[in-house]
Amino acid sequence: MDINALNIDESAKLNATAWLNGEYDEATKQAIRDMAENNPSELNESFYRHLEFGTGGLRGIMGVGTNRMNKYTVAMATQGLANYVKKINAGESELRAAVSHDSRNHSREFAEITAKVLASNGYKVYLFDGMRPTPELSFAVRHFHCHTGVMVTASHNPKEYNGYKAYWSDGCQLTAPHDEAVIDEVLKIKSVGDVKMKGGEENITIIGEEVDQVYLRRVEANSLNPEIIKKHHDVKIVYTPLHGTGITLIPRMLKQLGFTNVNIVEAQAVPDGNFPTTPSPNPEEKAAMKMAVDLAKDIDADIVFASDPDADRVGVAVKRPDGEWMLLNGNQTMSVLFYYIVKQWQEKQMLTGNEFMVKTIVTSELPADIATRAGIKIYDVLTGFKFIGAKILELEGVEQFIAGGEESYGYMIGDFVRDKDAVAACSMIAEIAAWAVEQGKTFFDVLVDIYKQYGFYKEGLVSVVRKGKSGAEEIQQMMRDYRSNPPAEIDGEKVVCIKDYKLHESKDLVTGKVTPIDLPTSNVLQFFTDKGNKVTVRPSGTEPKIKFYFGVKGELCCKGSFDKTNEALDQKIESIKHSMNLV
């Protein structure tokens, strides 16, 4: 089959031909021939571009091709990363890197290839002896004073995917200009023949238990009420790792803290990249949490939590007064974490006036309200946890970081890790459950207390998909239209403030005052109404969609009014969607 005769992108033809003629194994070449013969559209998808680093690093479907996750794209990406880090650190006598992986299919293979390429390039490589949570990789980068790090994972994506998160020396995922600069270096790698793969085996050091111990001690130090844990050690916890890396450290951490009644969903405790018990290993989804909630019902548990495959994100379920279980969204879990941590810092007189917390711009304003009322600075950053890490680095030695988070179920407590940390979050959530018992309350009651004190905040999301080139153009036109002709009202409420993260300005429509926004450029718009409600418009950086985030607020008088108030806020969000023609 002549690939050049196929009706596919020219870039796909060039890339596939290069692989057929290059130093690739015969099985790979045969797979290319088979796609050309039987599935040209798949060949096109597999080769029309090179995988790029986005907010989550390198991520894609596993398979043959430049646009797929495989041993060659991993090796070439690593060579580009190695070249860039070496260029930036010219003159360093020893370059160091840490490498880890999750439970996905081929993750160990990709991690070993990554380590081998780095070692062949002269790096001293610290390779974990088996799968570990993403936050421990972030920790290891800083612990070993590494210049870079790699975590092989596709987070909570379906089983067909794998990925590659690259980290900088601060333990944070790559941010500008490093992210784009690494891609530039990767694109210079024209074939696998440009990758150094031989020699350097002596540069690889296998690490494991010794790092686990140091990391877990740091997580343990986050505890604000060890005496309450000791008193209520038997609080009934249900935990599922969803076949992922959380099983390596989270049960162990809970035991180390003193919890004695941790019930693991055994069917999901075995690491398995096929995720056989759930359609998607995403703790945001009800189906992923079902087995844990079912177990909680059976044993009348106090709290349920689940970590995603690389154990950086946490899903939580709580028991309502009627005995039914309710899944918390990321904003709710983050708000409870902020509330508890702030309250304890206040009661223990730990606040000096120099502390700060961080959230992303699409996250609820409730965590900001909690921090601000306590006199704690709150910073907004762009979507993506790497920007929280960047803010911590910017203020290091100047202000003290307490906690941070985002609506997509990621939280960070303390600054010894510079990424989302499910190990630390699960530990603190368990502590809050014990603290609630001490108060004669449930976790749900704590959420109600927050809503009564600060207002009932509710969020919603609509994703508008527009596929193909024309779809991408339509999305860009929608953003241009919102900028040139912004809404004066949203659902009958006057728009009083517009934040434009592309133009770096916040405009008060009442006074006309324009305030600069000191954040990296991002094509995001936010509209704030005179009733305290918020709409954020953000095109996705990785998918053919534009996202609309809604944040509304009401008053909650008492626990008995929870359902009624919740329903009214849901109706408010629906009304806003209608007013913006999104339904």
Percent of the chain with pLDDT over 70: 98
Average pLDDT over residues 423-448: 98
Average pLDDT over residues 348-371: 97
- CA quadruple 77, 79, 84, 88: dihedral, nearest 10: 140
Beta-carbon contacts of 560 under 8 Å, excluding residues fewer than 6 positions away, are none
Residue 554 has pLDDT above 70, yes or no: yes
Here the tokens at position 54 are 């986005």
8 A C-beta contact, residue 481 and residue 546: no
8 A C-beta contact, residue 195 and residue 75: yes
Cα 581 to chain centroid, rounded: 30
Here the tokens at position 124 are 């001293």
Hey, what amino acid is at 542? T
Average pLDDT over residues 301-310: 98
Known active-site residue 155: yes
Q: What local confidence, expressed as pLDDT, does residue 187 receive? A: 82
Q: What local confidence, expressed as pLDDT, does residue 472 receive? A: 83
Report the chain's mean pLDDT, rounded to a whole number: 95
Q: What local confidence, expressed as pLDDT, does residue 340 receive? A: 98
3 state SS of 321: coil
What are the pLDDT digits (tens) for 307-334?
Answer: 999 999 999 999 999 999 999 999 999 9
Give the separation between CA 473 and CA 467, rounded to whole angstroms.
10
Residue 572 has pLDDT above 60, yes or no: yes
Q: Looking at 128-142, 357-371, 542-556, which range is the least confident one?
A: 542-556
Here the tokens at position 46 are 């597999």
Q: What local confidence, expressed as pLDDT, does residue 189 receive? A: 87
Average pLDDT over residues 247-262: 98
Computed on alpha carbons and rounded to an integer, the radius of gyration of the chain in Å comes to 24
Q: How confident is the model at residue 541 (pLDDT cuts 50, 70, 90)?
A: low
DSSP 447-468: HHHHHHHH-EEEEEEEEEE--H
Nearest residue to 406 (alpha-carbon basis) of 463, 362, 461, 450 = 362
Helix and strand tally (H, E) in the chain? Answer: 18, 23
Hey, what amino acid is at 2? D
Nearest residue to 502 (alpha-carbon basis) of 522, 517, 527 = 522
DSSP 499-535: EETTTTEEEETTT--EEE--S-----EEEEETTS-EE
Q: What local confidence, expressed as pLDDT, does residue 53 receive? A: 61
What are the pLDDT digits (tens) for 158-208?
Answer: 999 999 999 999 999 988 888 888 888 888 888 889 999 999 999 999 999
What are the pLDDT digits (tens) for 51-80?
Answer: 776 555 688 999 999 999 999 999 999 999
Residue 543 has pLDDT above 80, yes or no: no
Beta-carbon contacts of 568 under 8 Å, excluding residues fewer than 6 positions away, are 554
Q: What local confidence, expressed as pLDDT, does residue 91 receive? A: 87
Give the separation between CA 549 and CA 403, rounded to whole angstroms.
23
Average pLDDT over residues 43-50: 92
50-207 has which fold?
Alpha-D-Glucose-1,6-Bisphosphate; Chain A, domain 3 (3.40.120)
Here the tokens at position 148 are 């870079």
Hey, what amino acid is at 153? T
Residue 98 has pLDDT above 60, yes or no: yes
Q: What is the CATH number of domain 456-579?
A: 3.30.310
Q: What local confidence, expressed as pLDDT, does residue 2 receive? A: 84
Q: What local confidence, expressed as pLDDT, does residue 89 receive? A: 96
Q: What local confidence, expressed as pLDDT, does residue 449 receive? A: 98
* Strands of 323-373, DSSP E: 325-328, 355-360
Facing residues of 536 across strands? 526, 549
Residue 403 has pLDDT above 90, yes or no: yes
Q: Is the preceding peptide bond at 539 cis, omega within 30 degrees of 0? A: no
8 A C-beta contact, residue 139 and residue 218: yes
8 A C-beta contact, residue 404 and residue 388: yes
Average pLDDT over residues 512-527: 95
Residue 153 has pLDDT above 80, yes or no: yes
**CB 559: neighbour CB atoms within 10 A?**
16
Q: Decide if 50-207 and 215-454 have a common fold.
A: yes
Q: How confident is the model at residue 542 (pLDDT cuts 50, 70, 90)?
A: low
Residue 483 has pLDDT above 90, yes or no: yes
Q: What local confidence, expressed as pLDDT, does residue 182 receive? A: 85
Phi first, then psi, for residue 516 (nearest 5°) are -65, 145
Residue 297 has pLDDT above 80, yes or no: yes
- From the list 46, 100, 120, 155, the catalytic residue is 155
8 A C-beta contact, residue 244 and residue 307: yes
Hey, what amino acid is at 75? A
Hey, what amino acid is at 323? G
- Cα 237–Cα 238–Cα 239 angle in degrees, nearest 5: 115
Here the tokens at position 365 are 């304003």
8 A C-beta contact, residue 439 and residue 314: no
3 state SS of 554: strand
Here the tokens at position 93 are 């006598």
Q: How confident is the model at residue 479 (pLDDT cuts 50, 70, 90)?
A: very high
**CB 409: neighbour CB atoms within 10 A?**
27
Give the separation between CA 261 and CA 199, rounded to whole angstroms.
49
8 A C-beta contact, residue 408 and residue 362: no
CATH number among 3.40.120.10, 3.20.20.140, 3.30.300.30, 3.30.1540.10, domain 215-454: 3.40.120.10
Q: What local confidence, expressed as pLDDT, does residue 467 receive? A: 82
Beta-carbon contacts of 511 under 8 Å, excluding residues fewer than 6 positions away, are none
Q: Looking at 245-249, 345-349, 481-485, 544-548, which range is the least confident one?
A: 544-548
- For 380, half-sphere exposure in the C-beta direction (CA atoms, 13 angstrom radius) is 16
- For 111, half-sphere exposure in the C-beta direction (CA atoms, 13 angstrom radius) is 29
Here the tokens at position 38 are 């039987």
Beta-carbon contacts of 3 under 8 Å, excluding residues fewer than 6 positions away, are 13, 16, 17, 20, 36, 43
Q: Residue for token digits 């794998």? A: 162
Predicted TM-score of the model (pTM): 0.95
Average pLDDT over residues 447-471: 92
Give the separation between CA 401 and CA 378, rounded to whole angstroms.
10
Hey, what amino acid is at 568? A
Here the tokens at position 256 are 């180390």
Give the separation between CA 409 and CA 308, rounded to whole angstroms.
10
- CA quadruple 109, 114, 120, 122: dihedral, nearest 10: -140
Nearest residue to 540 (alpha-carbon basis) of 555, 562, 523, 553 = 523
Specify the higher pLDDT residue, 190 or 129.
129
Residue 500 has pLDDT above 60, yes or no: yes
Domain boundaries, the chain: 1-43, 50-207, 215-454, 456-579
